[in-house]
Structure 1
Amino acid sequence: MNQSFHTPLCDLLGCCYPILQAGMGGVARAELAAAVCEAGGFGCLGMVRESPALIAREIAELRRRTDKPFGVNLIPAATDANLFVSELDACIEAGVDTLIYFWDVVPDAVKRAQDADCKVVYQVGSVEQAIKAEAAGADAIIAQGVEAGGHIHDSVTSLVLLPQVASAVSIPVVGSGGFASGASLVAAMALGAQGIHCGTAFVATRESFAHPIHKQKIVQAQSTDTIHTDAFAINWPPHSPVRVIKTEVTRQIGDRVFGNDADEIQREQIAEEEGRPIYLFSTDSPLRSMTGELEKLAFYAGQITGEITAIETAADVINRIIAEASEGLDRMTSFLQ
């Protein structure tokens, strides 16, 4: 273990390196989360709007693959209230140590988790939400910049947002959005973070549950090939923009937006997942378990996609980041001599 990058955040979460794998719904299953944990990072199951039975199965499978600590990602503000309670109950019953929440801060969700001795890491997109999360009792904050892939909760870049959040709260802060290299880990720490949160880099790994077509899109895309749009609206609350790789679907809609009101979008089935219909303009991304017109789905990716040139293992990603970070520190030291 490279002690240079073992921060207090690592002690809080129980990992070796301050590299958190994002809880990407659908994509982040037990195989990926376990691989991240085994490589020294902090793995996370993306269980957004999943059934309690599936959550229990994925937790059990993850524990079969590793004995390291891990997190489960839920979204209180974007999940039916009854389903969220059932999801949380499943996590608590399984003895999950850390929950990672996203979107608007829901204080009661933090309290319920912590009453069950769960740590809570809250992912936010603004200083205001970071302050609310700390006041609600969160143990750490993930500050997400607009260059991130998937759902994005505000419009400020990581370079600006991260130091502002770090100054505004007293709990550990993690940088998210544009982080997938050793240099970015060093930069995040220089800006006040104790670690980084990576999504796109882990989508394009062998262990990811993403469909191969999604992984190849990320490898082939440049940083200028993503778009920030609210067209993919079905399944989420209003005004929930995402960053995806440009496709024929996004080119056809151009500047057209729906105000992210899913009720205004006609349901057109384009794929299925084990009998479940998948609609055009839904927030579903292509998974291994899906069939149909997958090219029309949302290919989530952040602007960091331009730095990802191969499908690696999760361990490859983590080892590369740590090695590059060490080189980056040495380079900075040489500049200052």
Structure 2
Amino acid sequence: MNPDRSVLHTPLCDLLECDLPILLAGMGGVARAELAAAVAKGGGFPTLGMVREAPDLIETEIKALRAATDCAFAVNLIPAATDPDLLDAQIERCLDLGVRAFSFFWDVVPEAVGRVKSAGCRLIHQVGTIEAARAAVAEGADVLIAQGLEAGGHVHGRTAAFALAARVLAETRLPVVISGGIADGEGLADALDLGAAGVQCGTAFLATVEAFAHDYHKMRIVKSDGSDTLLTDAFVLNWPRGAAVRVLRNSVTDALGEHLLGHDPDALPCEPIAWDEGVPRLRFSTDSPLRTTTGNLEEMALYAGQGAGRIGEVVPAAVRLNRIADEAATLLAQRRSVRNVEKGTA
């Protein structure tokens, strides 16, 4: 018997026009149209990861997503880590194509927020600190994503996801989504019990058939027990100094010893170790291995959150989405039953 998923419906679902309060993280390079469409068709809310991508590629991915589904979606950009001219061209192309929702990350850039808001678009802003949350609210964000240090990829703050979310929830009436280490229904159930409007998952969807990540990256996640992730700013080429990422251990991080943080991108060597259709990928760059990547994949940034230990196989995105939803619905129903019994015996 299928669990009653109505317990999962939150105002976020109505705002973003999706059935389930589960967001696909806008993972650069990985969250392309194929994965976004699979998440949308499964009832979740998809975000295209278009960080620093050329406007032409953004247009190609948007058109491919729309050809696959008419579901709502967002485009993820990072204003604070993108050349202003490129960012201007990215936003302009998205608006020309009728994009109605954006997802921003890292420092709040008022000019970028104002531009998409003045165009009538919804803005989802991911933050890693309470200060960034306040700034996003002040600039007019519609949804906040509280990202904890458990998250894979670029990590903005140093607070655990649920602790940060609790602080954000105490200060705003906006829908708050929790991101970081969530890979199953228990995480979603815990988030909704806390009062959050939903969750965002990255690693859980990276290890799916439709993700544009390389199979090597996917299998490293499957083999992980969750304890082999670490936070480092060694993979910082192409990003501002001090931008830490959570990755799986590899030979590059092992060679760093205890020196995981404090790296200056200007002091790191620019040595090609892999290629994407002829484009070199450098050791210490933020690039992760994609389907098109060849070369020394082991030394690249293998992004993964601490929830990797709960991922045991590569499956279609809809399968993972349904497992998360069904498990969460079952747990919430059980918890509600227990609370009702406790009230009755009090």
Q: TM-score, normalised by structure 2?
A: 0.95
Q: 1: distance between equivalents of 2:272 and 2:12?
A: 43
Q: 1: distance between equivalents of 2:334 and 2:250?
A: 39
Q: Which amino acid aligns with 1:18?
A: P
2:327 is matched with: 324
1:243 is matched with: 246
Q: Which amino acid aligns with 2:115?
A: R
Q: 2: distance between equivalents of 1:205 and 1:332?
A: 30
Q: 1: distance between equivalents of 2:239 and 2:261?
A: 13
1:52 is matched with: 55
Unaligned runs of at least 5 residues, structure 2: 342-346
Q: 1: distance between equivalents of 2:329 and 2:173?
A: 27
- Of the three residues 33, 44, 62, the one matched with 1:41 is 44
Contact 2:152 2:247 in 1 (8 A): yes
Q: 2: distance between equivalents of 1:112 and 1:196?
A: 26
Alignment of 1:12 onto 2:15? yes
Contact 2:37 2:68 in 1 (8 A): yes
Q: Report the CA distance between 1:183 and its aligned residue.
A: 1.3
- Of the three residues 294, 298, 323, the one matched with 1:295 is 298
Q: 2: distance between equivalents of 1:67 and 1:257?
A: 44
Q: Report the CA distance between 1:288 and its aligned residue.
A: 0.3
Q: 1: distance between equivalents of 2:149 and 2:333?
A: 30
Contact 1:258 1:264 in 2 (8 A): no
Task: Give per-residue Cα distances to partners, 1:73-132, cap 9 Å, x unaligned.
Answer: 000000011101111111111111110000000111111001112110000001111010
Q: Report the CA distance between 1:150 and its aligned residue.
A: 0.4
1:141 is matched with: 144
Task: Give per-residue Cα distances to partners, 1:306-332, cap 9 Å, x unaligned.
Answer: 000010111011110111011101221
2:167 is matched with: 164
- Of the three residues 240, 258, 261, the one matched with 2:264 is 261
Q: 1:62-211 counterparts in 2 under 5 A? A: 62-211=65-214
Q: Which amino acid aligns with 2:106?
A: W
Using the aligned pairs only, state the percent identity.
51
Task: Give per-residue Cα distances to partners, 1:127-186, cap 9 Å, x unaligned.
Answer: 111010010000010000000000001111012111111111221100000212111111
- Of the three residues 28, 41, 64, the one matched with 1:25 is 28
Alignment of 1:283 onto 2:286? yes
Q: TM-score, normalised by structure 1?
A: 0.98
Contact 2:74 2:99 in 1 (8 A): yes
Q: 2: distance between equivalents of 1:310 and 1:243?
A: 20
Contact 2:128 2:148 in 1 (8 A): yes
- Of the three residues 247, 264, 271, the one matched with 2:274 is 271
1:229 is matched with: 232
Q: Which amino acid aligns with 1:158?
A: A
Q: Report the CA distance between 1:333 and its aligned residue.
A: 2.7
Q: Report the CA distance between 1:47 and its aligned residue.
A: 0.3
2:221 is matched with: 218
Q: Report the CA distance between 1:242 and its aligned residue.
A: 0.4
2:344 is matched with: none
Q: 1: distance between equivalents of 2:284 and 2:137?
A: 34
* Secondary structure of residue in 1 paired with 2:150: coil
Q: Report the CA distance between 1:258 and its aligned residue.
A: 6.3
* Secondary structure of residue in 2 paired with 1:223: coil
* Secondary structure of residue in 2 paired with 1:24: coil
Unaligned runs of at least 5 residues, structure 1: none
Q: Which amino acid aligns with 2:323?
A: R
Contact 1:130 1:169 in 2 (8 A): no
Q: Which amino acid aligns with 1:231?
A: A
Q: Report the CA distance between 1:274 and its aligned residue.
A: 1.4
Contact 2:229 2:306 in 1 (8 A): yes
* Secondary structure of residue in 1 paired with 2:227: helix
RMSD value, Cα: 1.1
* Secondary structure of residue in 2 paired with 1:186: helix
Q: Which amino acid aligns with 1:160?
A: A
Contact 1:114 1:120 in 2 (8 A): yes
Contact 1:147 1:178 in 2 (8 A): yes
User: How many residue pairs are counted as aligned between the two chains?
Assistant: 337
Change (3 A) 1:173 1:258: closer
Q: Which amino acid aligns with 1:100?
A: S
Q: 2: distance between equivalents of 1:252 and 1:331?
A: 47
